[in-house]
Amino acid sequence: MSRTIPAPGRITSVLGSQPWWAAGTPDQRRAVAQAVQMRREQAQRRIARLWAHPDLAEHLCHALGYERLDQWNGYVPSTRTYGEYGEINKSPQRRALIEVLKAVAEREKPSESVAATDEAKT
């Protein structure tokens, strides 16, 4: 099955089929399209960062019930359910995902000894 590459800036989601999408102004549609693109890029960066740590990727797959990392789309559920005033999202899957992403960030931090060495060079 081949995959068509969308034109730059083109929405490739269900947005175009929504009645409110067609009713929006060009500026509103552009703002939504930019937000969707930004979220997609953030998700792709999360996935790439996780690929660099196979043990954490394996842990995430196990926690989410996936067989392979490529099954995860990079999405991180919101802190709250149902928007800003909803309940705190206490999902065990979200908790596991946040823990793994924090571990990735911790590994990516420059170690103090490297920072000290860099300071000594200057």
User: Is 117 part of any domain?
Assistant: no
pLDDT of residue 96: 93
User: Is 9 part of any domain?
Assistant: no
User: Is 3 part of any domain?
Assistant: no
How far apart (Å, rounded) are the C-alpha atoms in residues 120 and 16? 56
pLDDT of residue 82: 76
User: Is 4 part of any domain?
Assistant: no
User: Is 5 part of any domain?
Assistant: no
pTM: 0.68
Residue 105 is part of which domain span? 14-109
**Number of domains comprising the chain:** 1
User: Is 6 part of any domain?
Assistant: no
Tens of pLDDT, residue by residue, the chain (122 residues)? 344 444 555 556 677 778 888 888 889 888 988 998 999 999 999 999 999 999 999 999 999 999 998 999 999 988 887 767 778 888 999 999 999 999 999 999 987 655 555 555 55
The contacts of residue 77 (CB under 8 Å, 6+ apart) are: 89, 91, 93, 94, 97
User: Is 70 part of any domain?
Assistant: yes
